[in-house]
Amino acid sequence: MSKRIIFPQILNPQCIRNCNKEQRRTTCTDNDICKIASALDDSLPIRCVGTWAQKKIYFIAQYFGIFATGMHNKWKLNYVEICSGPGKCIDRKSGYEFDGTALSVLKHDSFKYLKNAFFFDYDQNVVSILNQRIQSLLIPNAKAYVGDYCNANSICDVLRSQVTSESLNLVVIDPTDCSVPFSCIESLKSTLSNMDIIINVATRMDFNRNVDNILSDPKKYADVKDKYEAFLNKRGFFDSLRRGSFNVDMRKAFRDAFKDSLSRIGYSHFEIKEVENYYDILFASESERGLDFWNKANKLTFDGQYSLF
């Protein structure tokens, strides 16, 4: 039975707590980096997030441990994270700070099984912060790079130079909306070949807010519509939706369309992890073994209680 990972948190008294969206836009954050509080242990900048982010980070790190432990005897393993952030987060409601996904993976006991870890973010400042944290941990086989998922070559050129075809690669893509073009995933798959994916499909926080507008006035919201269809790699997706449909049904149609596109590039095993009412984390693998690992990770919840089924 898999062990529950430790997810330490510490109260940061610098946080003003409960800052609203307007405060974050004007005074409290810059590109989601808090301008008021810094991390207590290293005084470096920290990312402002909602309470739900802890569960998402915990679950991805939990899966990583099962994946790395289960596969290191058969493959050279690499971890790739896109939209990495600076490595540390602070809950804007509670004021508690905690490790982001990148640091949770770097500090995981199973990190020792990796050949390399690659972290990408489009913001040079964020990349610099994360690299300082990586260096402080004295980890030689991990590095953050500037990379934009809208320019897949900025990511694939780095990977192509360091990853061999004998590797199995876990790729985590964690955008704040559905703006990752499917062409980026196709390029990653072509570059890495053996690749399992965990991606935040932001149907609840992004698609849910805009689908009615698109169906009501597709010309006015043409740019948003194009963004979603590029994410899905499916032109005409909205032609099959009807106004007045339940959003839960439209979200399912969106996720199914995304899985259809993944199946066309070789994926056959899928699962969705819902994180409260905010995230749909989609897992995709070419191997049934990957899905088995995913289901094992699901058995251990954020509060440490095993599910019954």
Would residue 1 count as lying in a domain?
no
Please give the pLDDT value at position 244. Answer: 62
Query: Is 261 in contact with 233 (CB distance < 8 Å)?
Result: yes
pLDDT greater at residue 223 or residue 307: 223
* Residue 74 Cα distances to 69, 71, 107, 166, 167, angstroms: 10, 6, 22, 10, 9
The pLDDT score that the predictor gives to residue 100 is 96
The total number of structural domains in the chain stands at: 1
Banded model confidence at residue 8, pLDDT cuts 50, 70, 90: confident
pLDDT bin (cut points 50, 70, 90) of residue 2 is: low
CA dihedral for 291, 113, 87, 120, sign (positive or negative):
negative
Mean pLDDT of the chain: 91
Type of residue at 23: Q
Name the residue with higher pLDDT: 177 or 243.
Answer: 177
260 part of a folded domain: yes
What pLDDT is stored for residue 306 in this prediction? 41
The residue among 261, 262, 213 whose CA lies nearest residue 238 is 213
pLDDT, one tens digit per residue, over 179-205 is 999 999 999 999 998 999 999 998 877
CB 164 within 8 A of CB 252: no
Residue 309 falls within a domain, yes or no? no
Let me know if residue 3 belongs to a domain.
no
pLDDT at residue 297 greater than cutoff 90? no
Q: In what order do the strands lie in the sheet with 88-91?
A: 9-11, 96-99, 88-91, 45-49, 33-38, 29-30
Question: What's the pLDDT score for residue 309?
Answer: 31
pLDDT band at 3 (very low <50, low <70, confident <90, very high): low
pLDDT on residue 245: 63
pLDDT greater at residue 206 or residue 152: 152
- Identify the CATH number of the domain in which residue 246 sits: 3.40.50.150
Which domain covers residue 58, as residue numbers? 9-298
pLDDT band at 259 (very low <50, low <70, confident <90, very high): very high
* pLDDT beyond 60 at 218: yes
pLDDT confidence band for 247 (50 / 70 / 90):
confident
Q: Does 306 map to a domain?
A: no
So what's the pLDDT on residue 155?
98
